[in-house]
Amino acid sequence: MIIFSGSSNKHLAESTAGGMGVNFGHLEIFVFPDGERRVRVIDKVVDENTVVFQSTSTPPDQNYMELFFIVDALKRSGAKSVTAVVSYLGYERQDHVFRDGEAVSLEVIIETLERVGVDKLVAFDLHSVKVPELFSIPVLHLSALPLFAEKIKNEFKDEIILVSPDMGGIRRIKELSESLGNTPFATIVKNRDLETGRISDSQLNGDVRGKISIIVDDMIATGDTTVDAARLLLENGATKVFAFATHAVFTNKAPEVLQKSGIEKVWVTDTINIPQEKKFPKLEIISVSKAIAEGLKNF
Ligand code: R5P
């Protein structure tokens, strides 16, 4: 096996390859003045099983195009197979038609990934458990929940309540609750304006009074969902609020919004690379590289 990486999350690829004792392959990625990319595989890959890491986070289109070109270059260079480790699958939230006339962007992405030659795909905490069913190739769907459960067991000794900040996260919160010995959980019903994407209102189901509340979500993008949930929990008597999310999508204002909020600490993973300027004092990063290494060994 040879592991390659696109530009978006090289650190995760290198740490996974290092942990597995697997060779790290070399690519030449040249960016022309107009922004176009030229990708070339430097190592010999004939009859090799290859793995490409790319997190299709911001800027998603550029990161996807780069991934498509890497896969094409590997296939043209004779690779026996290409497994794409897309630790954050951009466009995963656009998995069906929400309003008449919309494109199903995720289906376009999946068709392209398969058409350029991806043989297998490794993904992390997909927005919906149904996403793997949209692929024709095998998908290994990994989760950060076991890592979060371990962290919660070690960090919190007082009474806690898990909180899903929206109804889409109920399966996730139930699974985490079970793995923590049926820890109680609460849910928030969140409504969004389908045109602007902004939260229009939210209601809490569950009793958080006097308890440490732990919000768990698949991703934090603007931070609005997490911060709005924290506000609601504190208004309803939670003693302290903490947050866990797998993907640190972090649009520009998110770090500031999270740091200024009533949340004590935010844990995210390294499925998306977080540049120095987006790190903030309340943030802690948990690495998923061991989970990916384990997953790749048996996939
Ligand atoms: C929504 O369904 C997701 O699970 C996240 O709650 C959401 O995408 C987070 O986005 P933001 O941080 O912009 O509210």
Kindly report, residue by residue over 265-281, the tens digit of the pLDDT.
999 999 999 999 999 99
Q: What is the pLDDT of residue 196?
A: 82
Whether 224 is in the pocket of ligand 1, judged by its Cβ within 6 Å, is yes
Task: List the helix and strand counts (H, then E) for the chain.
Answer: 8, 15
pLDDT at 260 over 90: yes
Give the residue-averaged pLDDT of 126-131: 94
Q: Nearest C-alpha to atom 6 of ligand 1 is from which residue?
A: 225
How many residues are recorded in the chain?
299
Convert the pLDDT of each residue in 136-181 to its tens digit. 999 999 999 999 999 999 999 888 999 999 988 999 999 999 999 9
pLDDT at residue 190 greater than cutoff 90: no
Asked whether the bond before 33 is cis by omega within 30 degrees of 0, the reply is no
Q: For the chain, give the mean pLDDT.
A: 96
The pLDDT, as a whole number, for residue 75 is 98
Structure tokens that stand for 25 in this block: 């392959």
For strands 27-31 and 37-41, give the pairing: antiparallel
Average pLDDT (24-49) is 97
pLDDT bin (cut points 50, 70, 90) of residue 195 is confident
- Provide the pLDDT confidence category of residue 252 given band limits of 50, 70 and 90: confident
Ligand 1 in contact with 160 (CB < 6 A)?
Answer: no
Burial of 175 (0-12, 13-18, 19+ CB in 10 A): middle
The percentage of residues in the chain with a pLDDT greater than 70, rounded to a whole number, is 100
Contacts of 53 (CB under 8 A, 6+ apart): 3, 4, 5, 6, 9, 10, 12, 13, 16, 85, 87
Alpha carbons 264 and 39: distance in angstroms, whole number: 43
* Interval between CA 107 and ligand 1 midpoint (Å): 20
pLDDT at 194: 79
166 in contact with ligand 1, CB cutoff 6 A: yes
pLDDT for residue 201: 83
Confidence at residue 157, expressed as pLDDT on a 0 to 100 scale: 86
CA 204 to chain centre: 25
Condensed to tens digits (0 to 9), the pLDDT of residues 179-189 reads: 999 999 999 99
| % of the chain with per-residue pLDDT over 90 | 93
pLDDT tens-place string over residues 68-123: 999 999 999 999 999 999 999 999 999 999 999 999 999 999 999 999 999 999 99
Average pLDDT over residues 233-262: 97
Distance (Å, whole) CA 236 – CA 234: 5
Note the pLDDT of residue 132.
97
Predicted pLDDT of residue 24: 96
Per-residue pLDDT for 215 more than 90? Answer: yes
Q: Tell whether the model's pLDDT for residue 219 goes beyond 80.
A: yes
Strands 212-220 and 199-205: unpaired
Domain range 145-286, CATH architecture: 3-Layer(aba) Sandwich (3.40)
Instruction: Give ranges for CATH 3.40.50.2020 in the chain.
Output: 2-142, 145-286
Is residue 134 scored above 80 in pLDDT?
yes
The CATH code of domain 2-142 reads: 3.40.50.2020
Tell me if 88 sits within 8 A of 249, measured CB to CB: yes
DSSP 118: -
Which numbered atom of ligand 1 lies nearest the CA of 168?
Answer: 2
Is residue 218 within 6 Å of ligand 1 at its C-beta?
yes
pTM: 0.95
**220: closest CA among 151, 179, 150, 274?**
274
Beta bridge partners of 140: 122
Catalytic residue IDs: 190
